[in-house]
């Protein structure tokens, strides 16, 4: 069809379907039937192994839910998200009163177990994720750099989970009703190998007598209703899924997945926005690995925590820094939302809301929801580059420096090893290596060079686990040779290893 634009057709279709619903949001309180009609018209995407279809926009637990301006009611933001049909909800033990605001909203929505009118069907229709910054379930505090940043939320991971349940479903003082659960708990802000070492302590051989047990083994007990750690004596099932989040280094996040030999991790929250390629990027490194492992992938930092607009490129430190307007003429918020949601592998994006309004044009929640009605493949590569050029107008593209590692060039294959043996009178050379890290273009393949001549090629693919790439080179002589590997990306740029000499046989 001449002039057909798939993206605009999808948007027009959505606006037509939801115009009456959006108008109705300003007329009265939450109505279950109204929500059901709204939910049916929103786009959803299956979230890998999480067995849940999430709306393409999720409600972030920060912005006015955490740093609440004096004239904002955060509970109304949550209620409006429900009324709009959003079914993915984010919060954290680290977000001040965010979980308490959810608790107030959930009471009005009949989402509290063991209370009159509890709507279990409605509870199962949403996905509620919280986070813990604590690295240990037991011991280890002298090594836990996050402990002093947790607002006194508890002394170990079990305390954080129970604190969340109490604040959202219980009395806010430690008690929570039977039947309360979290759909997922994320080990938050994994930024270093030290974090990973701590989180995985006791993962392989869990021992109740161990002085130190990491958060991951602890969460497994809370998910499975077991007590292998000795930290879940009641064998409660409080968590349905386990995941992690990362803002900084895709290399660290890849290591987090590669250590998970039991495939416990099912979800990942990752920073992704239109300035991602100006840094050590997520879209060509960690996101493909998580996607290949069939994980549920949630995008965050779509607006760089507001730094795409007037807020400085620093961590938000109070209500005065919350961005409360809808985009700008120079950099439309719609483009930024679409960019994140058309990043291959992303299932939903959580965006914090600073302001809701009866005027749909002035309502951040409504505008972001409209922008999120987009197919995963709606953007071409040229579409993405166009948005990236627009995003350069925000602080010259330097919006992510306070949470994302600086840009790195295409990397060479890592940890190259050679081994040789005789097989059926043939000389077999086996090369093994670990994945390269992509620069600002995806990796296409690896070339094998022997004695300065290309002798083979291996296609790149996301490395699911710590299982190396391999190539076999068959020789008919007994001489010594030199080998090197070369990484080639989509722009035909290369990065090569040092030469390794193979002794004669």
> Structural domain tally of the chain?
1
Rounded to the nearest integer, the mean pLDDT of the chain is 91
Is the pLDDT at 39 greater than 90? The verdict is: no
Q: List the domain range (segments joined by +) for residue 431.
A: 414-502
Residue 443 in any domain: the answer is yes
Q: Extract the runs of DSSP E, i.e. beta strands, from 107-204.
A: 127-132, 136-138, 182-187
Residue 230 in any domain: the answer is no
Residue 215 in any domain: the answer is no
Residue 442 in any domain: the answer is yes
Radius of gyration for the alpha carbons in the chain, expressed in angstroms and rounded: 25
Contact 249, 191 (CB under 8 A): yes
| Number of other CB atoms surrounding residue 153 within 10 Å | 19
Residue 109 in any domain: the answer is no
Calculate what percentage of the chain has a pLDDT beyond 70. 89
For 139-156, write each residue's pLDDT tens digit.
986 545 454 444 444 579
For 242-295, write each residue's pLDDT tens digit.
999 999 999 999 999 999 999 999 999 999 999 999 999 999 999 999 999 999
Residue 57, H or E segment = strand 57-59
- The CATH number of whichever domain residue 485 belongs to comes to 2.60.40.10
Residue located via tokens 């910054």? 133
107: Cβ contacts below 8 Å, ≥ 6 apart: 115
What is the mean predicted confidence (pLDDT) over 429-442? 98
What pTM was computed for the model? Answer: 0.91
Chain center to CA of 132: 14
Which tokens go with 484? 């090197």
Residue 142 in any domain: the answer is no
Contact 275, 399 (CB under 8 A): yes
Residue 269 in any domain: the answer is no
Residue 85 in any domain: the answer is no
């Amino acid at each position: 069809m001449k002039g057909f634009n798939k993206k605009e057709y999808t948007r027009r279709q959505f606006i037509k379907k939801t115009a009456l619903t959006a108008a109705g949001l300003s007329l009265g309180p939450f109505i279950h039937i109204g929500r059901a009609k709204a939910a049916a018209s929103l786009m959803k995407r299956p979230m890998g192994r999480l067995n849940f279809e999430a709306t393409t926009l999720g409600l972030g637990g920060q912005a006015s839910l955490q740093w609440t301006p004096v004239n904002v009611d955060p509970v109304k933001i949550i209620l409006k998200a429900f009324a709009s049909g959003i079914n993915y909800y984010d919060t954290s033990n680290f977000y001040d009163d965010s979980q308490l605001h959810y608790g107030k909203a959930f009471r009005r929505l009949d989402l509290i177990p063991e209370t009159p009118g509890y709507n279990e069907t409605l509870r199962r229709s949403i996905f509620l994720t919280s986070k813990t910054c604590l690295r240990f379930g037991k011991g280890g505090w002298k090594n836990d750099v996050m402990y002093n940043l947790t607002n006194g939320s508890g002394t170990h991971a079990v305390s954080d989970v129970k604190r969340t349940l109490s604040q959202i479903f219980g009395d806010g003082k430690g008690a929570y009703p039977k039947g309360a659960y979290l759909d997922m708990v994320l080990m938050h802000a994994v930024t270093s190998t030290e974090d990973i070492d701590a989180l995985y302590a006791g993962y392989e051989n869990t021992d109740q007598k161990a002085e130190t047990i990491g958060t991951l083994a602890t969460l497994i007990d809370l998910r499975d209703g077991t007590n292998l750690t000795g930290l879940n004596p009641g064998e409660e099932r409080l968590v349905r899924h386990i995941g992690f989040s990362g803002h900084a280094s895709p290399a660290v996040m890849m290591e987090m997945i590669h250590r998970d030999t039991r495939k416990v991790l099912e979800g990942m929250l990752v920073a992704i926005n239109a300035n991602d390629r100006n840094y050590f990027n997520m879209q060509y490194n960690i996101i493909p690995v998580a996607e290949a492992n069939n994980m549920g992938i949630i995008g965050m930092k779509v607006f760089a925590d507001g730094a795409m607009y007037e807020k400085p490129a620093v961590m938000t430190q109070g209500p005065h820094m919350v961005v409360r307007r809808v985009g700008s003429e120079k950099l439309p918020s719609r483009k930024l939302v679409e960019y994140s949601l058309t990043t291959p592998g992303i299932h939903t994006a959580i965006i914090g809301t600073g302001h809701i309004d009866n005027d749909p044009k002035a309502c951040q929640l409504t505008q972001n929801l409209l922008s999120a009605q987009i197919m995963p493949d709606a953007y071409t590569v040229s579409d993405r580059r166009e948005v990236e050029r627009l995003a350069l107008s925000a602080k010259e593209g330097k919006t992510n420096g306070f949470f994302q590692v600086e840009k790195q060039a295409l990397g060479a294959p890592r940890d190259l090893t050679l081994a040789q043996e005789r097989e059926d009178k043939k000389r077999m050379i086996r090369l093994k290596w670990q994945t390269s890290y992509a620069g600002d273009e995806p990796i296409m393949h690896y070339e094998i060079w022997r004695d300065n001549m290309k002798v083979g090629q291996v296609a790149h693919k996301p490395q699911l686990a710590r299982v190396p790439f391999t190539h076999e080179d068959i020789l008919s002589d007994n001489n010594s040779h030199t080998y090197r590997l070369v990484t080639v990306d989509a722009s035909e740029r290369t990065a090569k290893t040092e030469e390794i000499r193979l002794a004669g046989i």
